[in-house]
Structure 1
Amino acid sequence: MKTIRTIISACALLAAASMPLTASAHGDVTPQAIDTKTLPALGKEWRDENPYRGQKEAIKIGTSGYAENCARCHGLQAQSGGIAPDLRLLDRDCVDLKGDAKKQACYKETDKYFLTSIRHGKVRNGAVYMPPFEGILNQEAMWSIKAYLETVRAIK
């Protein structure tokens, strides 16, 4: 019996030693470009609010872009498993606001926060929590991801 355990332990150690020493808990985290040529071009000036809100083609592209670039950390369908913020909650506080002007101002503020986060990433105390996507994703790709996120928003 002791011999069998020794053999199993040796096999496990041998198998572990032959595995690559890379950490890949989230898979390939290299940002992937998103094809946005079917969306209206937004130009070089960065928008303050999502110009694609509710647009079917943008949501379709954003769904794919989210899956390729964001789901590894933020979870499938934006439902985080605790690694990164749950993006379904990103602008849910805006939903219940009274008055259209207040609600629109809230969405605009959230849009700015989202765009700043995705463009420049998140770094705290020198540790990268989220990579910057500016230069990899264009403005159209970023806003299409936001259009997708609005479709999976968690309502209170």
Structure 2
Amino acid sequence: MSIRLLAAAFAVATALFAFNVAEVSAHGDVTPQPVDTTGLDPLGEEWRKHNPYRENAKAIEIGTSGYNQNCARCHGLEAISGGLAPDLRLLDKGDAGDEWFMERIRHGAKKPDGTTMMPAFDGLISQEAMWAIRTYLESKYTPQ
């Protein structure tokens, strides 16, 4: 085997390794970004079971920003999934989807082996921000 062929094989192997490491690391320890909820009615300490901001234009605006800062990296721009994470445009609208959404965003999700699929956001972003993101997602709803 020639030196050039060995060097080319080594370069390809190194590039593939670097790509895989970057891909895994990019999805790793991500710091949640704060969401400015100025303009939304405060919700207090008790968690709501249903979206208090449904179809609220200000909530959609705030939720768009909150989604782009905290969710788009995994769930895709405009909530259009690339296949790695669920397509959030398909979540049930209204009260039917509220419970699932809040359970998932607050507590996250893990695989049976304990690997984090989605981080928990409870205590990191406010209830107001979570409901604003939910309102944004409902505005993107696409029936199956």
- TM bucket (normalised to shorter chain) is 0.7 to 0.9
Partner residue, 1:84: 85
Write the letter of the residue equivalent to 1:131.
P
Runs of at least 5 residues in structure 1 that lack an aligned partner in the other structure: 93-106
Work out the CA distance in 2 between the residues paired with 1:139 and 1:108: 16
Which residue of structure 2 lines up, in the alignment, with residue 39 of structure 1?
40
Query: Residues 118-141 of structure 1, C-alpha deviation per residue, up to 9 Å, x if partnerless?
Result: 111112221111100011111000
1:151 aligns with 2:119: no
In 1, Cα distance between the equivalents of 2:126 and 2:38?
11
**Length-normalised TM-score, structure 1:** 0.76
Instruction: Give distance in 1, aligned partners of 2:125 and 2:59.
Output: 14
Q: 1:127 to 1:11 in 2, by over 3 A?
A: closer
Give the letter for the 1:118 counterpart.
I
Q: Is contact 1:27–1:72 with CA below 8 Å preserved after alignment? A: no
- Paired residue for 1:140, among 128, 133, 143? 128
Alignment RMSD, CA only? 2.7
Asked which structure has the greater CA Rg, the reply is 1
Describe the shift of the 1:5–1:143 C-alpha distance in structure 2 as closer, same or farther (beyond 3 A). Answer: same
* Residues 29 and 72 in structure 1, CA contact (< 8 A), matched pair in contact too: no
Letter matched to residue 121 of structure 1: G
What is the TM-score when the length of structure 2 is the normalising length? 0.82
Question: What 5-or-longer segments of structure 2 have no aligned partner?
Answer: none
Q: How does 1:10-25 map to 2 (within 5 A)?
A: 23-25=24-26
Moved over 4 A (4+): 2-19
Distance in 2 (CA, whole Å) between partners of 1:18 and 1:153 is: 37
Alignment partner of 1:24: what SS? helix
Count of residues paired in the alignment: 142
Letter of the 1:49 counterpart: H
Equivalence for 2:102 = 115
